[in-house]
Amino acid sequence: MKWLTTLFACLWLSGCSLQPHTSSTQVEIGQDIWVELPLPSELGQSLNATQLISALWQDEQGNTQTQQLPVQLQIDSQHIVLAGFSSWGTRLLSLDYNGENISTQVLSGLENTLPKPEQVLFNLMITLWPRSTWEAPLNKVRWSIIDAPHQRIIKNEAGEPVLIISYAGKTPLDGDIQFLNKPLDYSITIQTLSHQAKLTTSEQ
């Protein structure tokens, strides 16, 4: 794969470093359509999880890319912290979202071959956060969110399904998650390898 070749060359020739970047709390969910992310606290629980994300997408040159990205995810009421690694343990990307901004780092030389950390964050949040936390942000762009048994569908302003999320388990963390994003032309499978969760709301 191209990103692996680039990674080997980068590590061998120049000793790649993580390049920092800070952005707003909006992410692109469709062509020139941006949505505000819910707050970390709105998940209603603290969470530590190890996940494997298998992705299929097209890069800026139109080339098809496939990749497996092991991810470590930590969530509390103030922060969402995630890190993505290579199969041999090199940290490729990291992200910290505190509800006010998103701080990201990507290994130098891989910015155009790895999925954007903000997009990884959105994928995880749209699958895990309650529907109620997404309704207001999506309504602002005239999109809607519908939950059904083992499935979540996000529709655009024309009522067309654009994000289709399928759950294999009783809860999102109990089985594989299949995620299809039609506007941005990528699909992912999220496999939760291990997790620990603790309620942070009055439901505890």
* Residue 204 falls inside a structural domain: no
Query: For residue 112, what pLDDT band results from cuts at 50, 70 and 90?
Result: low
Q: Are 7 and 110 in contact (CB under 8 A)?
A: yes
Which helix (H) or strand (E) segment holds residue 135: the answer is helix 131-140
State which of 5-9, 21-25, 117-121 shows the largest mean pLDDT: 117-121
| CATH code assigned at 128 | 2.50.20
Tell which phi-psi region holds residue 103, choosing left (phi > 0), alpha (psi between -120 and 50) or beta. Answer: beta
Q: Which domain holds residue 135?
A: 2-199
Residue 147 maps to a domain: yes
Statement: residue 3 has pLDDT above 80: no
Residue 64 lies in a domain: yes
The rounded distance, in Å, linking the Cα atoms of 143 and 157 is 5
Say if 27 falls within a structural domain: yes
Cβ neighbours for 171, distance < 8 A, ≥ 6 positions apart: none
Query: Total structural domains in the chain?
Result: 1
36-50, 75-89, 172-186, 190-204: which is most confident? 36-50
∠ CA 148-119-57, rounded to 5°: 90
Q: What is the pLDDT of residues 152-184, one digit of tens each?
A: 999 999 999 999 999 999 889 999 999 998 877
Distance in angstroms (rounded) separating the CA atoms of residues 146 and 153:
5
**Long-range Cβ pairs for the range 143-147 (8 Å, 24+):** 143/29, 143/33, 143/35
Lowest mean pLDDT across 26-30, 97-101, 157-161: 26-30
CA distances to 5, 10, 43, 117 from 21, in Å? 24, 20, 25, 10
Question: What is the maximum span of the chain, computed from C-alpha positions, in angstroms?
Answer: 53
